[in-house]
């Protein structure tokens, strides 16, 4: 039954709920380290006449 419950798990609803789960926190830390190590972006001064691209965490359970 536990295996079935894991397969039916839905995507998280709220950050506050998921931040309490060690698996999500570990995944977030791993992803952040990967982004920083690969220098995916660099911080630059904002130009007055340009839009800023935002970002956000997307929590999703991937079943392989």
Number of domains in the chain: 1
Q: Has residue 58 been placed in a domain? A: no
Q: Has residue 64 been placed in a domain? A: no
The structure's pTM equals 0.55
CA distances from 35 to 13, 17, 22, 30 (A): 24, 24, 20, 9
SS3 45: coil
Residue 9 has pLDDT above 70, yes or no: no
Q: Give tens-digit pLDDT for 12-45.
A: 667 777 778 888 888 889 988 998 899 888 888 8
pLDDT at 1: 55
Q: Quick one: how far is CA 38 from the chain centroid?
A: 16
Nearest Cα neighbor of 31 from 55, 2, 4, 7 is 55
SS3 12: coil
The domain of 22 spans 2-32
């Amino acid at each position: 039954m536990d295996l079935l419950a894991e397969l039916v798990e839905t995507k998280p609803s709220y950050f506050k709920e998921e931040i309490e789960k060690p698996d999500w926190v570990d995944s977030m830390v791993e992803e952040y380290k990967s982004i920083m190590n690969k220098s995916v972006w660099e911080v630059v001064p904002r130009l007055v006449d340009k839009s800023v691209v935002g970002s956000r965490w997307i929590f999703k359970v991937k079943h392989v």
